[in-house]
């Protein structure tokens, strides 16, 4: 078999698709604005439909919209003709994708969509097609040539449809003021969700699990408290239950550099006063940032009055998947 230049082929494909995407910049016009306004005004759901490769792009568009603040789902046009039209309500907006704009399975649905009074937005490569003419807004994704050397397999055309869909979704995201926390609510199972939703209060040790001693406690007894609770630190609280200091494994190592009487020395002689703390209600990711910046492995969570309500260390953050 003669040698084939795979790299040259890949470069040609990427260059062609890049050039096709670049042409979209000149096609962002009043139709794009109308599409965005229509979608923002929708009181129902965004129903995305498309056949074949356009359908695959439609599935991705529906998923992107749904995860960025615009409730959406995909309906297969073939299934819509056999019962799934019942999933569409007059409060919805339909986005239909087809490079030709004349895909039979989608065109069949147009009279029904119009009869329901549902606005149609088309993403097509043919502004004069049946779909484009029936739509309140048509997003033109035409390409001069597919990246496929036979000019048959949908390649450049699906890329432009994908990019136009992303442009639509992100424009809506920004118009809604969609935040990272909003995004996390759509992704609670991922690492992003854990970083943006998990609070320090959800993973900290509370009540009897907190290692706490009073100022008059000996260094020996403070070490026993640290050992019992297993967090690598202990807090020192005054008579009003305010946190006045902290003693950690690091403090212990530094103390061992000197000759000390563990029975006679008080914890207040070796504690760190005004140590780093976190506030109740803080995101676990914010607590992680405090610990990383201060190069510490644990801290106390305090309330608005400076009273400890919990304690946690790096291992707790690791177990929770925040790190």
Is the pLDDT at 187 greater than 80? The verdict is no
Please tell me the predicted confidence (pLDDT) of residue 189. Answer: 66
What gap in Å lies between CA 109 and CA 105, rounded to an integer?
7
Q: Specify the CATH number of the domain 200-319.
A: 3.10.580.10
pLDDT attached to residue 192: 67
pLDDT surpasses 70 at 319: yes
Q: Mind listing the pLDDT tens digit for each residue in 286-314? A: 999 999 999 999 999 999 999 999 999 99
For residue range 156-173, what is the model confidence (pLDDT) as tens digits?
A: 999 999 999 999 999 999
Phi, psi angles (nearest 5°) of residue 202: -75, -25
pLDDT at 185: 72
Q: How much of the chain, in percent, has pLDDT values that exceed 70?
A: 97
pLDDT of amino acid 46: 97
Cα separation of 190 and 255, whole Å? Answer: 42
Number of H helices, E strands in the chain: 15, 12
pLDDT more than 90, % of the chain: 76
Residue range 250-276, pLDDT digits in tens: 888 888 877 778 888 899 988 999 889
Per-residue pLDDT, 15: 95
CATH class of the structural domain 6-178: alpha beta
Higher pLDDT, 32 or 260: 32
Q: pLDDT averaged over the chain?
A: 91
CA–CA distances in Å: residue 170 to residues 32, 36, 70, 176, 179: 12, 10, 10, 10, 12
The residues spanned by each domain of the chain are 6-178, 200-319
Rounded distance, CA 214 to CA 270, Å? 13
The owner of tokens 């969609």 is: 178
Least confident of 88-92, 215-219, 225-229, 317-321: 317-321
Q: What are phi and psi of 152, to 5 degrees?
A: -120, -55
Q: What are the tens digits of pLDDT across the range 52-108?
A: 999 999 999 999 999 888 999 999 999 998 989 999 999 999 999 999 999 999 999
Q: What does pTM read for this prediction? A: 0.69
């Amino acid at each position: 078999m003669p040698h084939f230049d795979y790299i040259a082929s890949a470069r040609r494909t990427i260059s062609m698709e890049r050039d096709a995407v670049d042409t979209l910049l000149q096609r962002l016009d009043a139709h794009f604005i109308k599409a965005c306004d229509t979608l923002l005004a929708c009181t129902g759901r965004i129903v995305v439909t498309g056949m074949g490769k356009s359908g695959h792009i439609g599935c991705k568009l529906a998923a992107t919209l749904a995860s960025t603040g615009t409730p959406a789902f995909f309906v297969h046009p073939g299934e819509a003709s056999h019962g799934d039209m019942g999933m569409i309500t007059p409060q919805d907006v339909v986005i239909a994708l087809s490079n030709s704009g004349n895909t039979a399975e989608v065109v069949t649905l147009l009279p029904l969509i119009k009869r329901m009074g549902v606005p149609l937005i088309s993403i097509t490569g043919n502004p004069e097609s049946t779909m484009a003419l029936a739509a309140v807004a048509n997003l033109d994704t035409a390409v001069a040539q597919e990246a496929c050397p036979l000019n048959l397999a949908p390649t450049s055309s699906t890329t432009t449809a994908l990019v136009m869909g992303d442009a639509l979704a992100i424009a809506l995201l920004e118009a809604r003021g969609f935040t990272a926390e909003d995004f996390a609510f759509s992704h609670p199972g991922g690492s992003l969700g854990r970083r943006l939703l998990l609070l320090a209060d959800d993973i900290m040790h509370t009540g009897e699990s907190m290692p706490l001693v009073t100022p008059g406690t000996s260094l020996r007894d403070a070490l026993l408290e640290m050992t019992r609770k297993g967090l690598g630190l202990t807090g020192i609280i005054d008579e009003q239950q305010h946190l006045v200091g902290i003693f950690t494994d690091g403090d212990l190592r530094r103390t061992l550099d000197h000759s000390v009487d563990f029975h006679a020395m008080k914890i207040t002689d070796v504690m760190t006063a005004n140590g780093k703390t976190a506030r109740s209600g803080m995101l676990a990711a914010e607590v992680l940032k405090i610990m990383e910046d201060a190069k510490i492995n644990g801290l106390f969570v305090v309330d608005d009055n400076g009273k400890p309500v919990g304690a946690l260390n790096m291992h707790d953050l690791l177990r929770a998947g925040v790190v």
